[in-house]
Amino acid sequence: MIKNNRVDHVDIAKGISIILVALFHSNLRSIAPDLINPMGLFRMPLFFFLSGLFLSTSSSFNTFLIKKSDALLKPYYFTSFVLLVISAIANWGPYKGHLMYQFKGILYGNGATVVWGPLWFLTHLFAVYCFAYLVFRFTGIQSRRPVVKGIFVATMLAIGTHWIGFFQNEEVIFYGKNIELHGLPFSVDLVFISSAFFMAGSFLKERIVDFVPNLYVFFISIFIFVAIVVLTGAQIDLNHRVYANPLFATIGAVCGIYFSISISVYMSKIMLLRHALLVFGRASLFILIFHMYVGGMVYMVLVEAGNEGPVNIMVSLIAFLSSITLPLLIKKMVSRSEVLSLLYFPLKANNFLYRIRRAHYINEHLLKR
């Protein structure tokens, strides 16, 4: 179903993807690692694939840069600098007492330098958007034959997986000082891998928007995925620069993307599931930013309240559910605040700015009278 330029099953797939991210960062992972860890094969590839579906190169690069900075970097920097201020005032956080280190880490913007690890995705997705835009504008690859596109994506994956650990734990000399790298700024060293999935999504936009799952392919993709998990050492963890057994890992990612989107289409036909997952999908930014902190805080409070034991299933489950539902309340609060709306929502979609423009238009109209 398409409504207001939104595609329901794509938003549902985004909801599934962000739930899997929160699940990976929850304490449930320590309880069921053999179930949750293998989902890493498609968790981030799915998110990049979905992000690439609606890439547009119709505007100028400057306009594109401003729009993506507004949508991705604005909430990243605002949240990060709020954490920096809290750290300075309350002497709190992993880098307490090292504010300049934290400040530099915010600017560097990868998973090893930010206070809340999941925020690295915002800066990296910004880099991916810019890279894909430039590639599309200068190569015209999006208008080539499918086989050429396939070779292009495969080549990017081959290059990216070959050099994935090149900038990890590497020492460089900068102005006479030895500096240990944990990946490049904005995780640019991962851009070939993530952009491969991102561009694949862009290439397949029409097929995904009009996607009709094949039940046989659906079950075959699940079977292949399980076989890869059981029989190979394939693994994907981009934030930690892991892409083990690249061929099987990529096949596993493709299978995971296929059955995730298929499940999304099936769920879009079930009223209750559709509405619930649409809410999660359309609040994915807030879940991404806040899930780890919310889940961790709820877990800690419940444990301190007497539910002892690091492997308490009920406490872990409640903390996980809180990590994906409380950010929905945060989004609601932000949407009701004119200032916070400016800081977290894109300017084009901001109701506050719309009201200002409307008031300005009405005033001008009255003056002309």
DSSP 66-105: HHHIIIIIHHHHHHHHHHHHHHHHH--STTTT-HHHHHHH
348: in domain? no
For residue 117, what are the domain limits? 2-335
Give the pLDDT score at 54: 86
356: in domain? no
224: in domain? yes
Q: Read off the pLDDT of each residue in 177-185 and give the average, rounded to a whole number.
A: 72
**Rounded distance between C-alpha atoms, residue 350 and residue 71, angstroms:** 11
355: in domain? no
234: in domain? yes
Provide the percentage of residues in the chain whose pLDDT is more than 90: 64
Number of domains the chain is built from: 1
258: in domain? yes
47: in domain? yes
pLDDT at residue 357 is higher than 60: no
pLDDT at residue 87 is higher than 90: no
Pairing of the two strands 235-237 and 242-244: antiparallel
Band (350; pLDDT cuts 50, 70, 90): low
354: in domain? no
**Rounded distance between C-alpha atoms, residue 105 and residue 124, angstroms:** 14
Give the pLDDT score at 99: 74
